[in-house]
A = this chain, B = another copy of it.
């Protein structure tokens, strides 16, 4: 079974939702048969690459509140994170374009280090308030997640590398009806929106597992080789 998770590393509910999903997965009997793939979604796709600002200022501007009120909102989110055992500083983390981070997550996927990189970047952003929009920090995090330093630098310097993959993920999210993140898709059958409680994920996994039977399309007899090695030629009709 495959679970695809659309998220943005700038999204606190994605950080919290990942922990809740993993807790839900732990209670699922067939967890060993679940493959998790992380997909790209930018909350702020128009954000210019070099522009890094303060998340508190951004939140205050977005909601028309004071900086103090924005920090109080963050404190509420932080309490949810801490309830999941996650670190969360309510200071003033950076806010910027996450496009390069998504490109790096695609490289990490190709190297089998995607989940590790996501964990490390979330931790840096939310629990440590290190700026993940800084190239050197990102290189350090990539190396910590098991990526090759030189390969990481090459990727970050080449703006086209994996850019199409990021955009394809984002297009697919829209096609699947995602309006926000985190967005979880199980075997392209079931969707879970948001960082729901762990038991919702367990339930969704069980539902998807039950519903695994495929709908057959096509006709018999098929032109196929059986598991015993026999490759019969269909006699009923030919399709030459």
Give the contact stretch, choosing among A9-17, A116-124, A138-146, A149-157: A9-17
A161 sits at the interface (CB 8 A): no
41-95 of chain A: CB within 8 A of chain B: 43-44, 58, 62-63, 73, 76-77, 79-80, 83
Interface residue tally for chain A (C-beta within 8 Å):
73
Contact indicator per residue, chain A 187-216, by CB within 8 Å of chain B (1) or not (0): 111111111110010011001000011111
For A224, what are the chain B residues with a Cβ–Cβ distance below 8 Å?
13, 17, 180-183, 193-195
- Copies of this protein in the assembly total 2
Q: Does A230 sit at the interface, judged by CB under 8 A?
A: yes
Asked if residues A222 and B193 are in contact (CB atoms below 8 Å), the reply is yes
A191 touches B214 (CB 8 A): yes
Q: In the complex, A130→B62 CA distance in Å?
A: 66
13 new A-B contacts, CB < 8 A, other than A188-B212, A207-B215, are A20-B239, A73-B233, A80-B238, A80-B239, A177-B213, A179-B227, A180-B222, A189-B189, A192-B218, A193-B222, A194-B223, A195-B223, A196-B218
Q: What residues of chain A have their CB less than 8 Å away from a CB belonging to chain B? A: 1-2, 8, 11-14, 16-17, 20, 33, 43-44, 58, 62-63, 73, 76-77, 79-80, 83, 110, 171-172, 175-177, 179-183, 185-197, 200, 203-204, 207, 212-219, 221-227, 229-231, 233-234, 238-240
